[in-house]
Amino acid sequence: MDRIEITTEFIKLDAFLKLSGLAETGGEAKLMVEDGEVLVNGETCTQRGRKLRPGDRVSCGGETLEVAGA
């Protein structure tokens, strides 16, 4: 599992999808979340503004990434 490092206390889900490269644009990230394609800690998440903190895991398109703190 790959880890994506953030330097802040949290990152919003849509921003994380862009940062990690799972989505190319904010619009694409929004659609992925709204369509139920994204899992956060194993559960479908439809809140694109959900705050992710270190230790959270995001799965989409067969990839799972972990949020890591700096």
Specify the pTM: 0.93
Q: Do 35 and 23 contact (CB within 8 A), yes or no?
A: no
CATH number for the domain formed by residue range(s) 2-69: 3.10.290.10
pLDDT at 39: 98
Model confidence over 2-35: pLDDT tens digits?
999 999 999 999 999 999 999 999 999 999 999 9
Three-state DSSP at 44 gives strand
Mean pLDDT of 48-56: 97
The pair phi, psi for residue 3, each rounded to 5°, is: -115, 135
Residue extents of the structural domains in the chain: 2-69
pLDDT at residue 29, as a whole number:
96
Give the Cα separation of 34 and 67 in Å (integer): 21
Element of type H or E holding 15: helix 13-20
Q: Which helix (H) or strand (E) holds 53?
A: none
Residue 1 pLDDT greater than 80, yes or no: no
